[in-house]
């Protein structure tokens, strides 16, 4: 009888026969003999444990009592815990059962006497009880808490600690702790600070930071820990270990708000002094930032805006009369006074640290912000106005900048700057116009002042921005900083954003537009440099998320382009004018590219412009004298116009593409125009053919099925055609296939199959192998997301998964002469295979790669060598058995052969590959070849090309140091 049948038979017994039944004893005997597992019995009882029949359920619940009693029996502990964990997750597991199981657990001896896996099971059971039977644990109260503290005492395993900290966090937040605070604190703080470092290759993935964060959550879980923890935290702050200090400050920042002002205030003065030391003597930027964050946490606890409570420390006597929330007394006054003492020497390094502390206080509460800022500004203003302290003004303005920067993130009403507004505006705008060392810090401070939310009126904003504009007008020192400031204003997200944009449009942009001449200046003149600088500034300022500045920018520069192009000039002046127009157009393109990449909403505003351009191109190229422009008798100048057309059309959306079906047919004719001078023409029409098929396939069904089929049969597969026509037609077919493959169309793969079928063609075989590289190429960016092409996710992976097996199979099944074609195809594709895929697939192709090193084409061999270099870095064990032969063949690529087939690309690739080997291949594998390699590398040191010589130096040094 099966286990489930046995359990069912017992459940169905009449009540009178239950006591006489031997089924429980029989199951216990089977468990003891390890014929069945206790957990299987529990799982078999699952339905009965949740039965609606009380008698059936009660009979099954007896198991809870039985299992709880077995927790004290060491041999049964593990199966009993596993079974109880399952039982505790059932809906019918009630409070009574929870109390029973929890009592049995806390009565266990300390867990330190058990192995880690057993301890982990106990924590898992406790976690399950906490999740499913929390009322039962709360009913036990102090008994459970004290028992838990004794049970887990001494735990050290990080896997168990993560569970223990999670349980403890819930207990500290939700349970009544008054009678057990010290017990729970002892089992928590004993782990602080965490010193655990995971071993190398740790399979459990528990990091030191995981434990630090979990422990910190426990320490900050209850205010009852405050009086116990703060003295110990203060001791840790004085520890020599930077790691301990860092953990202490992180914990304090989390604990201060929880412990509350009443407890924290007793220690505020000492913590304030300790944190001041960390700021004034910070060892690195991270420690400084952490100390300042802790300062903010401390003082936001002591001086909350919602309460006028006066925090004190043990060294200060403050009277107990009620004060208003605006009045500041206690430890903050002492700290601010200490900072003011340092600020009296603003050029000293301690003054900078003092300002950082003042900023931390400002972030803690509005009360402290007003107090600390007012005190600091009064002092700094006094120094600024002192005629005997002129040398200190740059430092003072720098401190102004830091204080104002803190206000730009945290607006408060009323603004504590209000009393100093006029003085600051006058001081900073006048300093930006000075040619002294005060100018740059004044620019920074003025920008921060402008960014203080809802502080300056529109008129005051205009006055302040005019200070930046004056720097732009002069175009000398501070120009870049002023541009950066205007950019920050144009990108600001604040209530004043609209005012910033309007002010920049009305006052700043005209200054920069005025630097753009009506006609092109001579190259190398000051005027030439000035307009380039102005274009760069305009691009930075106008490439914002908003539409206003970009709209003005495009309209004004577009008008300037039209004026430049309309000017009737000749000779050298025409060349300068063309360069100027190019710079204007490139600037417009750069701004629109930034906005398109960012996905700005106003990008669609420029689609009508694209439609207008599309219509203009259609009229110029397709409705005029098409034969003169793009026909077989066209001049090179006309062919250049077609390249221009293709460049424009590539970036068009499908909705505005001007290419019609008749033009597609015309492209097929033009793509086989003979002669070297027609290469530009052929490239242009192939680009347009590929992108039109990719973007508008749905409307080209007849063209794809009829016209392209006819083109294949008549121009590619027709052996009666001339070799040049067939090769040109093959490249056109490859671009057609590429347009389909990029969008993962099945017809694209069928088109590639046709190309592979030409490998045995005596005329087109090797050409067909090379054109496969065009289909995989992404570097040309013709079919890309930026050009609105349909690019399917992982299309390259699908393409290579389809293609590589066919190349391997074809190579195996071909005769020796035809095998070379498959090697050429593989070599053409190698540089385009995604790296993640190459590490999986290429080791399977290693024999073909090694054979490809004998190909005559140096460019293809360079591709192979580069691929082998990647394999040597990432999966060197795959090469160890073949590396000796590979090195011999690669060394041949270091010297030009007699027929001049050598190339710089091959020599550099060979040297790069050889340089990798000493780092990844065991010395014993290549020790016999070391003298030969060094000898050949010596020859490369005298190569004619500098990049080869440079690569040879690095490679040779690696081989000199190559040893066992």
Give pLDDT, residue 629.
39
Model confidence at 32, pLDDT cuts 50, 70, 90, reads: low
The better pLDDT of the pair 708, 70 is held by 708
CA atoms within 13 A on the CB side of 673: 25
pLDDT in tens, 679-714: 878 888 888 898 899 888 888 888 989 999 999 999
Model confidence at 640, pLDDT cuts 50, 70, 90, reads: low
Instruction: With residue 150 as reference, give the H or E element that holds it.
Output: helix 142-152
The set of residues, in sequence order, having a beta carbon less than 8 Å from that of 770 and lying 6+ positions away, is 824, 825, 828
The answer to whether 761 touches 726, Cβ cutoff 8 Å, is no
Tokens 């009540």 label which residue? 15
Q: Give the ranges where 195-241 is alpha helix by DSSP (H).
A: 208-219, 226-237
> Above 60 in pLDDT, residue 351?
yes
Model confidence at 334, pLDDT cuts 50, 70, 90, reads: very high
> Above 80 in pLDDT, residue 875?
no
pTM of the model: 0.65
> Above 60 in pLDDT, residue 46?
no
Model confidence at 361, pLDDT cuts 50, 70, 90, reads: very high
The pLDDT of 345-349, averaged and rounded, is 91
The pLDDT of 4-20, averaged and rounded, is 59
The answer to whether 331 touches 313, Cβ cutoff 8 Å, is yes
Give pLDDT, residue 49.
52
pLDDT in tens, 504-551: 999 999 999 999 998 888 888 888 889 999 999 999 999 887 778 888
- Distance separating alpha carbons of residues 249 and 294, to the nearest angstrom: 6
Maximum average pLDDT range among 260-264, 412-416, 431-435:
260-264
The pLDDT of 822-830, averaged and rounded, is 86
pLDDT in tens, 86-132: 878 877 677 888 888 888 888 888 888 888 888 999 999 999 999 88
> Above 70 in pLDDT, residue 256?
yes
Question: Residue-wise over 21-34: b if at least 16 C-beta within 10 A, else e?
Answer: eeeeeebeebbeee
The better pLDDT of the pair 25, 567 is held by 567
% of the chain beyond a pLDDT of 70: 85
Model confidence at 325, pLDDT cuts 50, 70, 90, reads: very low
Instruction: With residue 172 as reference, give the H or E element that holds it.
Output: helix 158-174
The answer to whether 468 touches 485, Cβ cutoff 8 Å, is yes
The set of residues, in sequence order, having a beta carbon less than 8 Å from that of 811 and lying 6+ positions away, is 819, 822, 823, 848
And the tokens for 946?
């500098």
Tokens 């080209």 label which residue? 700
> Above 50 in pLDDT, residue 898?
no
The answer to whether 908 touches 890, Cβ cutoff 8 Å, is no
> Above 80 in pLDDT, residue 764?
yes
> Above 70 in pLDDT, residue 7?
no
**pLDDT mean across residues, the chain:** 83
Could you tell me how many residues make up the chain? Answer: 964
Give pLDDT, residue 323.
38
The answer to whether 440 touches 428, Cβ cutoff 8 Å, is no
């Amino acid at each position: 009888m099966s286990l489930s049948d046995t359990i069912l038979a017992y459940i169905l017994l009449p009540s009178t026969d239950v006591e006489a039944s031997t089924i429980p004893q029989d199951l216990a005997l089977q468990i003891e003999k390890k014929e069945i597992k206790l957990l299987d019995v529990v799982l078999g009882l699952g339905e009965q444990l949740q039965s609606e029949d009380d008698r059936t359920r009660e009979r099954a619940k007896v198991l809870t009592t039985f299992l709880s009693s077995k927790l004290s029996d060491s041999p049964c502990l593990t199966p009993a815990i596993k079974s109880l964990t399952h039982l505790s997750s059932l809906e019918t597991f009630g409070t009574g059962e929870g109390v029973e199981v929890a009592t049995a657990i806390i009565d266990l001896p300390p867990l330190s006497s058990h192995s880690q896996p057993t301890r982990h099971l106990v924590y898992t059971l406790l976690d399950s009880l906490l999740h499913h039977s929390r009322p039962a644990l709360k009913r036990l109260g102090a008994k459970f808490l004290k028992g838990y503290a004794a049970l887990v005492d001494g735990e050290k395993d990080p896997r168990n600690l993560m569970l223990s900290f999670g349980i403890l966090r819930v207990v500290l937040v939700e349970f009544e702790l008054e009678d057990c605070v010290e017990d729970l604190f002892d089992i928590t703080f004993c782990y602080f600070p965490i010193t655990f470092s995971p071993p190398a290759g740790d399979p459990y993935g528990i990091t030191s930071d995981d434990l630090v964060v979990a422990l910190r959550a426990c320490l900050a879980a209850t205010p009852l820990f405050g009086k116990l923890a703060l003295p110990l935290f203060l001791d840790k702050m004085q520890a020599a270990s930077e790691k301990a200090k860092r953990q202490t400050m992180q914990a304090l920042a989390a604990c201060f708000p929880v412990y509350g002002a009443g407890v924290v205030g007793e220690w505020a003065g000492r913590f304030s002094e300790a944190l001041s030391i960390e700021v004034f003597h910070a060892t690195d930027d991270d420690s400084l930032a952490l100390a300042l964050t802790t300062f903010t946490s401390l003082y936001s606890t002591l001086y909350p805006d919602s309460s006028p409570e006066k925090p004190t420390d043990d060294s200060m006597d403050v009277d107990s009369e009620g004060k208003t929330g605006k009045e500041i007394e206690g430890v903050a006054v002492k700290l601010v006074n200490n900072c003011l003492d340092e600020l009296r020497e603003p050029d000293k390094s301690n003054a900078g640290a003092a300002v950082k502390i003042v900023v931390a206080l400002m972030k803690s509460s509005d009360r402290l912000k007003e107090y600390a800022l007012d005190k600091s500004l009064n002092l700094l203003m006094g120094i600024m106005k002192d005629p005997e302290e002129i040398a200190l003004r740059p430092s003072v303005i720098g401190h102004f900048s830091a204080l104002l920067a803190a206000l730009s993130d945290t607006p408060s009403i009323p603004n504590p700057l209000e009393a100093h507004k006029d003085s600051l505006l006058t001081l900073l705008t006048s300093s930006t116009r000075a040619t002294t060392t005060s100018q740059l810090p004044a620019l920074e401070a003025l920008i921060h002042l402008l960014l203080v939310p809802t502080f300056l009126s529109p008129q005051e904003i205009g006055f302040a921005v005019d200070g930046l504009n004056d720097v732009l007008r002069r175009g000398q020192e501070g120009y870049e900083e002023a541009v950066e400031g205007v950019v920050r204003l144009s990108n600001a997200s604040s209530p004043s954003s609209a005012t910033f944009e309007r002010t920049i449009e009305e006052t700043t942009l005209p200054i920069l537009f005025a630097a753009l001449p009506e006609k092109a200046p001579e190259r190398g003149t000051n005027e030439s440099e000035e307009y380039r600088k102005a274009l760069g500034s305009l691009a930075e300022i106008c490439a914002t998320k908003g539409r206003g500045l970009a709209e003005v920018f495009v309209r004004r520069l577009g008008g300037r382009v039209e004026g430049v192009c309309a000017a009737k000039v000749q000779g050298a002046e025409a060349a300068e004018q063309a360069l100027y127009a190019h710079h204007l157009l490139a600037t417009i393109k750069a701004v629109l590219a930034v906005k398109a990449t960012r996905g700005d909403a106003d990008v669609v505003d420029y689609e009508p412009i694209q439609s207008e351009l599309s219509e203009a191109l259609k009229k110029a190229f397709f409705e005029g004298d098409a034969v003169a422009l793009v026909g077989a008798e066209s001049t090179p100048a006309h062919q250049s116009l077609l390249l221009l057309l293709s460049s424009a059309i590539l970036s068009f959306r499908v909705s505005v593409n001007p290419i019609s079906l008749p033009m597609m047919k015309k492209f097929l004719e033009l793509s086989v125009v003979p002669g070297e001078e027609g290469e530009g023409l052929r490239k242009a029409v192939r680009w347009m053919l590929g992108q039109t098929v990719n973007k508008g396939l749905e409307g080209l069904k007849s063209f794809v099925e009829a016209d392209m089929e006819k083109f294949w049969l008549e121009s590619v597969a027709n052996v009666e055609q001339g070799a040049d026509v067939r090769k040109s037609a093959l490249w056109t077919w490859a671009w057609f296939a590429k347009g389909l493959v990029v969008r993962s169309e099945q017809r694209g793969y069928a088109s590639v199959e046709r190309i592979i079928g030409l490998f045995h063609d005596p005329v087109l075989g090797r050409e067909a192998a090379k054109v496969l590289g065009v289909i995989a190429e992404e570097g040309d960016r013709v079919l890309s997301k930026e050009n609105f092409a349909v690019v399917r996710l992982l299309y390259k992976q699908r393409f290579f998964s389809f293609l590589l097996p066919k190349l391997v199979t074809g190579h195996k099944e071909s005769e020796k002469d035809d095998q070379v074609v498959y090697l050429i195809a593989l070599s053409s594709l190698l540089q385009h295979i995604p790296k993640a895929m190459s590490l999986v697939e290429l080791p399977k192709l290693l024999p073909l790669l090694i054979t490809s090193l004998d190909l005559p084409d140096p460019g293809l061999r360079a591709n192979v060598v580069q691929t082998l270099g990647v394999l040597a870095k990432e999966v060197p064990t795959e090469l160890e058995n073949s590396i000796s032969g590979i090195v011999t063949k690669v060394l041949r690529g270091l010297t030009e052969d007699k027929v001049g087939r050598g190339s710089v690309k091959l020599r550099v690739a060979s040297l790069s590959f050889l340089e990798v080997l000493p780092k990844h291949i065991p010395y014993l594998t290549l020790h016999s070849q070391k003298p030969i390699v060094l000898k050949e590398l010596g020859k490369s040191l005298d190569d004619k090309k500098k990049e080869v010589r440079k690569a040879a130096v690095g490679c040779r040094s690696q081989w000199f140091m190559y040893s066992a």
